[in-house]
Every structure is written in C-alpha cells, then in structure tokens.
Amino acid sequence: MRKRAYFETLWGDEWPDVGWLEPYFRSPKDSMPRIQTQSGDGSFSIEGVDGTEHLESGRGRIDITLFFVADPEFGGMLSWRKGGGALRQCFYSKGDFRRRLEWVWTPQGTPFSAGFFIPVDKVWNALKQFIQSDGALPDAVHWVDSNELPVDTFPPPKDWKQLRQRG
C-alpha cells in the first residue's frame, strides 16, 4: 500500500503524525483553528487496499481518498471515496441539510453544498480516525452516501458563474 498526503508543506508519499496535524485543526479557546482561517484544503490517500497493491490504477487497484476543505464561516467538509475496478463508494460529511442549496466556494473556485459542512473539531476527529485506521471510513461524523443525494446537489460547471453572482 502506498500512502500520499497533500496538505500545507506535506506533499508526498507519507502521512503525517496526528501530532503534526493537530495544531491546524485545534486551537486555544476563543480563537479559530488555523485551517479555518486560511480556507484550507487537502487530502490523504492510500493506494492498493484490500489486497490490490500489485495492480495498476484503472486496472483493478482499489484506492481510498479523504478530501477536506475548511471555510471561516461554515467550518469544514469531508469527502471519503473508495474505488477501483467496479467498486465506487463516495460519502460526504453531513451537516445541516436545510442549507443544501447554499454554496461554499473552495480556494480553487469550486462550489460545495453548505449542507456538507460541519464543525472543524469534528473534521479533526475524522481525519485522526482515518489516519489511525489506515483509511477506514471514520465514524466520528455522520455521512451521506453520494448515491442518495438529489441531482442538484452538485451544479454543473457551466452554472458556477450564475451561482457565484447569486451567492
């Protein structure tokens, strides 16, 4: 299995120790966590799970990725994906789904439903579980299966400009 991290100064073939990550997600009382002040994002992935490490990507290898994004107003969002071959699983952190059609924009300009955003301390607990369990779906948050989401949960890119003007 090969682990990869894409976060802050850590880009490469290893996952950080949870102690290295903690200051980004936890802060002294009455101050915002550093990840949230920067509208940061990142991901941790593991390639070749479930005995597929000898296979190539696109040829049966199963990979898992946990993507996260943080926003100063909304908190953080998680996406856990496991796929390879015929397997396709995707879950999103479940926040207040009454806000499902409100948009939070990533630093790269991608809109995500505000209904996926949860408090940053819950994001931290899920990231920690993910790392400590070698990629298992964390039970520290509530998840929604992407197959159960309404079709308008992810607007097509051609509509992004219009959404931005309304938001």
For residue 165, is pLDDT > 80? no
For residue 98, is pLDDT > 80? yes
User: Is 63:40 a contact under the CB 8 Å cutoff?
Assistant: no
Q: What is the CA radius of gyration of the chain?
A: 16
Phi and psi of 55, rounded to 5°? -95, 160
Q: How far apart are CA 141 and CA 158, in angstroms?
A: 32
Segment (H or E) for 61: none
pLDDT confidence tier of residue 167, bands split at 50, 70 and 90: low
Q: What is the pLDDT of residue 17?
A: 81
Q: What is the pLDDT of residue 64?
A: 96
Higher pLDDT among residues 29 and 100, named by residue = 100
Which stretches within 26-86 are classed as H helix? 34-37
For residue 39, is pLDDT > 60? no
Q: What is the pLDDT of residue 5?
A: 86
Of 51, 58, 66, give the one whose Cα is nearest residue 84: 58
Segment (H or E) for 75: strand 75-84
* Structural domains counted in the chain: 1
For residue 163, is pLDDT > 70? no
Cα angle value 71/32/105 (rounded, 5°) = 5
Residue 152 lies in domain: 2-166
